Structure 1
Amino acid sequence: MDPERLAALRTPEGVKAIAMAAELAGGDPLTAASALRSAGVPADLAAAALTQAELRRRAAGKFGADADRMFFTRAGLEQATRSAVAERRAARLRAAGVRTLADLGCGIGADAIAAARSGIEVYAWEADPGTAAVAAANAEVLGLAGITVTHGDATAAPLSGVDAVFCDPARRRDGRRVFDPAAYSPPWDFVAALPERVPRTVLKLAPGIDHALVPPGAEAEWVSVRGEVVEAAFWCGPLAEVPRRATLLGATELTGPGDAKAPVGPVTPYLYDPDGAVVRAHLVAEFATAVGGHLADPEIAYVYADTPTPTTLARCLAVDEVLPFSLKRLRALLRERGVGRLEILKRGSALDPDQLRRALRLSGPAAATLVLTRVAAAPTALLCHPLSGTGDT
């Protein structure tokens, strides 16, 4: 979004156009555009209003009621931190004594908003002029005077007067995701050096970030929301509390060194599928200890135990059948049990679940869960059923 278009959306005519577009959201876009133009809305403003109404509808899951007042770009909404995650981070920064924060690469302002609401003065920098204008507009419409947004290169931001730095480097270029940290904006060499300039630094990164990139002495945290791993965060300097942390927002946390090894043993009656944050944080061994379990293959993050233990850190399944993977045997077993609805989970298997489902030719009233994995390096199929109350996240 260019600043001129944003300015048009903020006029009384633009506000009215967005309200009209919101009533038409979810329907046929051509019909909606025609309706706005018939109401006298210029074509450019109608298109912008329809886009904004649709983005606000999508943003409700991340921003709640605030989404109805905020402005968005497509890329900005996709990379923006969920408000609950940002609020938790802001509360931790505030509790650590942070009163002034530099937000480098602020995007549409999600983390800046949470920090300002917690009482932290935020100096936000954003390289893209349109996105910077959106961030400033969001601070204004939400009544947050504690945010100053600067359009400029984050690498040029003065940091000498702030208590802490938060950096969420852009991981998209030309509409496509960037997986190489060297191609981030700001680039990784700048991002990685921030803790040397301001010890209290937090880096928000993609969940797939390499553990080898964790700064020395930093805490690496992986956060999941309702079973989806949404981000990694490196807490540097005095902000670090533990080496590794898995946070299941609204549920629980698991911490540890991140380099422990779980014992290995046979398949036992119960299988745990740990939350992705636990796996990403390399805390599977700590989880196994918590439930008295072990692995059946040292490289596969399924945990097995003799008895079920209630936990929000994983989903628990009862193992009904264990067999070396064979399409013919598996098809016969499922036919014998009358399984017509099959959930397929996998770790350590190259099989495509959709292709396998078609090949199994399922039929019947029963439901089951099929786990495709390795046991002692051998391809294995486990037919299971879920236990209620032992892993609902």
Structure 2
Amino acid sequence: MASENPVTDSIAPILTPQGWELLNSLGPYSEAGSLQLSEQLRRAGHAPEVVAAALTQCRLRAKAHAKFGGFADRMVFTSAGLEQATRLRVAAHHAQRFVAADLVRVADLGCGIGADSMALATLEREVTAVELDETTAAAATMNLLPWPNASVLNADASAVDVTKYDGVWLDPARRSTSTSGTTRLFDPEAFSPPLSFVEDLAAHGTPVGVKLGPGIPHEAVPADCEAQWVSVDGDVTEAALWFNALRRPGVRRAALVLSAHGAAELTSAEDFGAGPEAPVGPPEGYLYEPDGAVIRAGLVADVAERLSGHLLDPRIAYICAPELHETPFARPYRIVETRPFNIKALKQWVRAEGIGVLDIKKRGTSVTPEEVRRQLLSGSGKARKKATLVLTRIGDDRVAIVVEPVPAHQVPAAG
């Protein structure tokens, strides 16, 4: 991972007995009350740097609950480390790969604050967590203390002798850090370590898994791996590439969808651009919005086939089907009507229907939903009726499809 800002991310003051005790004595973080609490702690005799570090950790712990749940309350974070850290739920799926492949000794190269190492250690892997940044390595050390089968090495990931391990996991730094903050990197060769380093390990037969950003283009995915896109509650979080013993037989690309209802996965043995071709047809019945992981994995046509549906346009990821089906891979909407995309006519429709709340989705068109919403609702007064518009393109025609979200309890269970 990239170097942290030594001022804002200094954790040394809380790594003393007094600092650690102070941190863990503080209640839930409140932004509104943080200044008053800081003054109270200083008046009580705590050093300013200890107070600042403890409050920073409180704030980061509160933010980290989304990724780590209750574990966050005893962890140590850096800002950049938390931003890039794998959600614990996703890390468990990573770790399960190593268990399924019977790989015991695992090197976690670029471990960050240790999320994936925590999951690996929980599943009884012998983990060596490697991190170049000294501050981040210190945070990982604290986070891995409950697991005697995990250790942290403050070193360059690219210099580690991986022949001592059964398998390797990597989470390369995908951001550059400067005094003005962090900047996202998109070129896989600009990552640290770069994708070519991962490919070189795999070329020697090493079982390797690597976490990349979900936006990696298909042409940049190596030919000899499995690519799995992961979404959590509709948010696409990563693309993981799996090589050698960590790659599943007969799987080239996959979409793993995690939600409150559990985990669901769609896989294909076909390479990118291959597989089924979905038919194209008019808006009818129900419109399905595929999960982002499905879209990234190029599996929209596969979902359309499962739904006995068709695409509105061969290049746009909206599916229509005459009937309502249960699927974890797409969200259904009932189609009410289809209108030409004309601002003046749509504005008249908004007024006539008494619409005051408008949810706008769009795909395949360059319009900005916020601007369209502003234009359509201008002058609508105190109207309260809610409506949903899907702005898209069918061939050369721009259309506005009026839809209604289908409540989960109305979707028939798969039989």
Same structural fold, with TM-score higher than 0.5 when normalized by the shorter chain:
yes
Q: Which amino acid aligns with 2:140?
A: A
Q: Which amino acid aligns with 1:270?
A: Y
Q: Which residue of 2 aligns with 1:295?
A: 311
Residue 52 in structure 1 maps to residue 57 in structure 2: yes
- How far did residue 15 of structure 1 move? 2.1
8 Å Cα contact 2:13-2:49 kept in structure 1: no
CA distance in 1, matches of 2:304, 2:233: 21
Which structure 2 residues correspond to residues 13-162 of structure 1 after superposition, within 5 A?
A: 13-23=18-28, 25-140=30-145, 143-162=146-165
Decide whether the 8 Å contact of 1:159 with 1:198 is kept in 2: no
Q: Is the 8 A contact 1:24 1:32 kept in 2?
A: no
Determine which of 201, 204, 220 is the counterpart of 2:208.
201
The one of 381, 389, 402 equivalent to 1:370 is: 389
Which ranges of structure 2 fall in alignment gaps of 5 or more residues?
none
SS of aligned partner of 1:72? coil
> How many matched pairs?
390
Matched, 1:283 2:292: no
How far apart are 1:24 and its partner, in Å?
5.1
**Is 1:342 the counterpart of 2:349 in the alignment?**
no
Q: Is the 8 A contact 2:57 2:76 kept in 1?
A: yes
In structure 2, distance between residues paired with 1:86 and 1:270? 35
Within the candidate set 173, 183, 186, 1:170 is matched to: 173
- Corresponding residue of 2:403: 384
How far is the alpha carbon of 1:217 from its aligned partner? 2.7
The residue number in structure 1 matching 2:257 is 248
Retained in 1: the 8 A contact 2:172–2:211?
A: yes
Alpha-carbon contact 1:21-1:32 (below 8 Å) kept: no
SS in 2 for 1:302: strand
CA deviation digits over 1:272-326, x for unaligned, max 9?
0011011011000100000011111111000011111111211111111112210
Say which SS state the counterpart of residue 164 (structure 2) adopts: coil
Q: What secondary structure, in the 3-state scheme, does the structure 2 residue paired with 1:344 have?
A: strand
* CA deviation after TM superposition for structure 1 residue 22, in Å: 3.7
| CA deviation map 1:234-293 (0-9, x unaligned) | 111232221111111123111122433321122222100011011011000100000011
Q: Superposition RMSD on alpha carbons, in Å?
A: 1.9
One-letter amino acid matched to 1:368: A
Helix, strand or coil at the partner of 2:11: helix
Instruction: Work out whether residues 171 and 179 of structure 1, in 8 Å CA contact, stay in contact via their aligned partners in 2.
Output: yes
Deviates more, 1:2-11 or 1:171-180: 2-11
Whether the aligned pair in 1 keeps the contact of 2:214 and 2:239 (CA below 8 Å) is: yes
Asked whether 1:263 is paired with 2:279, we answer yes
Distance 1:183 1:327 in 2: 43
Letter aligned with residue 235 of structure 2:
E
Shift of 1:192: 2.8
Identity of aligned residues (%): 44
Q: Shift of the alpha carbon at 1:191?
A: 2.6
- Are residues 1:325 and 2:355 paired? no
Q: Please list every run of 5 or more consecutive structure 1 residues that lacks an aligned counterpart in the other structure.
A: none
How far has the Cα of 1:194 moved from its partner? 2.3
The TM-score normalised by the length of structure 1 is: 0.94
Report the secondary structure of 2:313's partner residue: coil
Distance in 2 between residues matched to 1:11 and 1:371, nearest whole Å: 56
